[in-house]
Amino acid sequence: MKSEHEGVNRRSFLGAAAAALSASALFAPAAFAQSREEIRKGTDNHSADNPGPVNKELQAENGDSNVPPDTDHGDVSPFWYSFDLAHRRIQDGGWTRQVTQKDLPNSKDIAGVTMRLTAGSYRELHWHTANEWAYMLYGSARISVLNPDGTIFIDDVNAGDLWFFPAGYPHSIQGLGPDGCEFLLVFDQGTFSEYQTFLISDWVAHTPPDLLEKNFGLPASAIQKLPTREEYIFPGTVPGPLEDDRRAVGGKTVESKISYSFRMRSMKPTFEDAGGSARIVDSRVFLASKTIAAALVILKPGAIREMHWHPNASEWQYWLQGTGRMTVFASAGEARTMSFHANDVGYVPAVAGHYIENTGTDDVIFLEMFKSDQFSDVSLNQWIRRLPEQIAEAHLHLSSSELQQIPDAKDPVLPQ
């Protein structure tokens, strides 16, 4: 299996091209729909012929948008974007980039950030207006978060681990050896900007020196050493053992009673079968995560994330590995299919039906995230099987024996 972060920087296309792709409405006249299969097989290319300019690389990335399946219809709002289209802010010590509501206009609840810190480098001390949920993509980091009661949480997190920092709680992140880290940040505000956080360097730089002397109890000579502008990401020295840091700040007497980290990838799967697995983490198992619920899903080649919908929240996805496609059913006969790859972002409105299919030869691995304290989904298979047969037969025109072949239990992952 390829590593989860492999291929993260695989694609790099112009934002304008992506915007044009996302904004386009796909309509399907009946006459054209009848010939789509022939078009896909290359036996009838006249109707889909495009003699004008084409961005072939971008077109190849999303064949389902260029020649949609027969079942696509109507104008469905954009639900695909890629971090590889986002601007990267690069500083000495690492980089960051973000996908917000500006990029996916319907994503009002969640914004995302990917960030890289080299060994020893810091995402400086800060706090912000949104709750922060994170998934470690690569490497290791040391995190800290201060509670309002003065207790502090300090921990080391590795690939596959989570953290959750409540809004307004000051925190820090530092890359560890040997090669620092990379992680995904998820914020429960669609318009949240990573570049509008409250930084400790920024605050002291915009406070009169005499006031700083009074507040810190330091002489003017010390105040002159404070930063005069924001630092954001900057190099540092790889720290020593975790327990040394914990002891140095006061040990058990100042230790937080709340754990703000969780080992997601190493937990026992919530569901697992021949098609793959799903690990579900919400406030019922990760107590600190009050506003973000998530699932880490692995699909084997040919497997699907079953047809379902979420009754309580919109879904924001991050694709870590593999190649797949998703169709979003937006009601009133409207549906659209898009292809997804590593480092892509997907979005599904609350209660919209959808599935995800692994169309590649490697495992698909992706995260589903929701602005909610609990994960909740409705299985189409389970709904059909829980109905009296007369109702299901009348609606689907299936016989009793055919209905019995439909799985009768919720199974997030179905094999090929």
What are the C-alpha distances in Å from 226 to residues 22, 233, 249, 328? Answer: 46, 16, 22, 52
Of the candidates 249, 110, 248, 262, which has an alpha carbon nearest to the alpha carbon of residue 192?
110
What are the C-alpha distances in Å from 53 to residues 39, 45, 94, 213? Answer: 20, 17, 37, 64
Cα separation of 332 and 329, whole Å? 9
* Residue range 269-292, pLDDT digits in tens: 999 999 999 999 999 999 999 999
* Confidence band of 30 (pLDDT split at 50, 70, 90): very low
Of the candidates 142, 97, 413, 124, which has an alpha carbon nearest to the alpha carbon of residue 279?
413
* Confidence band of 67 (pLDDT split at 50, 70, 90): confident
pLDDT at 47: 76
341 is in an annotated binding site: no
Of the candidates 377, 329, 327, which has an alpha carbon nearest to the alpha carbon of residue 355?
327
Residues facing residue 371 across a β-bridge: 292
Neighbouring C-beta atoms of residue 315, cutoff 10 Å: 25
Of the candidates 80, 82, 77, which has an alpha carbon nearest to the alpha carbon of residue 98?
82
Residues facing residue 144 across a β-bridge: 154, 172
Domains of the chain: 15-75 (no CATH), 87-262 (2.60.120.10), 267-414 (2.60.120.10)
Of 8 and 390, more confident: 390
Pairing of strands 132-146, 171-175: antiparallel
pLDDT at 13: 43
Check pLDDT > 70 for residue 305.
yes
* Residue range 195-220, pLDDT digits in tens: 999 999 999 999 999 999 999 999 99
Check pLDDT > 70 for residue 236.
yes
Range of lowest pLDDT (134-138, 190-194, 381-385, 407-411) = 407-411
Check pLDDT > 60 for residue 6.
no
Of 128 and 22, more confident: 128
Mean pLDDT of 392-404: 98
Cis peptide before 178 (omega within 30 of 0): yes
CB 122 within 8 A of CB 227: no
Mean pLDDT of 4-31: 44
Which amino acid is residue 290, in one-letter code?
Answer: K
Pairing of strands 111-117, 181-187: antiparallel
Of the candidates 277, 301, 296, which has an alpha carbon nearest to the alpha carbon of residue 285?
296
Rg (CA), the chain: 24
pLDDT at 58: 86
- Edge-to-edge strands of the sheet including 80-82? 80-82, 344-348, 315-321, 364-371, 292-299, 276-281, 271-273
Cα separation of 165 and 159, whole Å? 18
354 is in an annotated binding site: yes
The tokens for 22 are 């996302």
308 is in an annotated binding site: yes
Cα separation of 267 and 276, whole Å? 15
Identify the H or E element spanning 101.
Answer: none
In percent, how much of the chain has pLDDT > 90? 84
pLDDT at 36: 53
pLDDT at 247: 97
Cα separation of 183 and 272, whole Å? 25
Cα separation of 335 and 329, whole Å? 4
* Residue range 7-18, pLDDT digits in tens: 444 454 434 444
In percent, how much of the chain has pLDDT > 70? 89
CB 380 within 8 A of CB 315: no
Q: How far is CA 171 from the centre of its chain?
A: 21
126 is in an annotated binding site: yes
Q: Please state, rounded to an integer, the average pLDDT across all residues of the chain.
A: 91
Cα separation of 380 and 390, whole Å? 17
Check pLDDT > 90 for residue 248.
yes
Q: Where are the beta strands (DSSP E) in 159-289?
A: 161-165, 171-175, 181-187, 198-199, 233-234, 261-263, 271-273, 276-281
Cα-based angle 364, 365, 370 (whole degrees, multiple of 5): 130
* Confidence band of 369 (pLDDT split at 50, 70, 90): very high
171 is in an annotated binding site: yes
* Residue range 169-191, pLDDT digits in tens: 999 999 999 999 999 999 999 99
128 is in an annotated binding site: yes
* Confidence band of 19 (pLDDT split at 50, 70, 90): very low
What residues are annotated to the active site?
A: 368
pLDDT at 44: 56
The tokens for 148 are 């309002």
* Confidence band of 107 (pLDDT split at 50, 70, 90): very high
What are the C-alpha distances in Å from 333 to residues 328, 338, 351, 397? Answer: 11, 17, 15, 19
* Confidence band of 65 (pLDDT split at 50, 70, 90): confident
Q: Is 301 helix (H, G, I), strand (E, B) or coil?
A: coil
